[in-house]
Amino acid sequence: MTREEIKDVILEIIEDIDEEAEFDNLDADAPLRDQLDLDSMDFLDIVMELRKRYQLQIPEDEYPELATLTSCVNYLEPKLKDA
């Protein structure tokens, strides 16, 4: 998957959690939780959805890698390169 495709997947998962999520002014380098109405349970939903879709096992100590949209893409890019 390309970086752009990974970004789209993340946004699609967030939209599935909260269909009212607004992405127009999203700062890709700022924490997602500060900009969107997401809490810890939603965050675990993102982790679970990545596991279901791509069989990705993300260790708990690596969750901070998913803090921003850019860090998500950076972290997932090597893991999803063949997806």
Partner 1 sequence: MQQSDSQRIVITGVGLTAPGASSLDQFRANLLAGKSGITTLDLRYMGVHPAGICTFDETRYRKKRENKRGSRAGCISVYCANEALEDAGITFEEYDRSTTGVYLGLTEHGTVETENEVYNISKFDYNVDYWTHHHNPRTVLNNPAGEVTMNLGITGPHYTIGAACAAGNAALIQGAQMLRLGEVDFALCGGISECVGSFGIFASFKSQGALAEHPDPIRASRPFDMQRNGIVISEGGCVFTLERLDSALQRGAKIYGELAGYAMNSDARDFVLPYGPRQQQCMEMALKRAGMDAGDITIVNTHATGTRQGDVEECSAIRKTFAGCTSTYINNTKSSIGHAMGAAGVLELAGNLPSFTDHYVHPTINLDQLDPDCAMQGLVSGEPQKLARVDAVLNNSFGMLGINSVVVVKSFVAG
- Residues near partner 1 (CB under 8 A) are 17-20, 41, 44-45, 48, 51-52, 57
CB of 66 to partner 1, least distance (A): 15
Which CB sits closer to partner 1, 4 or 52?
52
CB of 21 to partner 1, least distance (A): 9
Which residues are registered as beta bridge partners of 68? 31
Report residue 40: phi and psi, to 5°.
-60, -35
Q: How far apart are CA 3 and CA 76, in angstroms?
A: 9
Which CB sits closer to partner 1, 18 or 34?
18
Alpha helices in 1-60 (DSSP H): 3-17, 32-35, 40-54
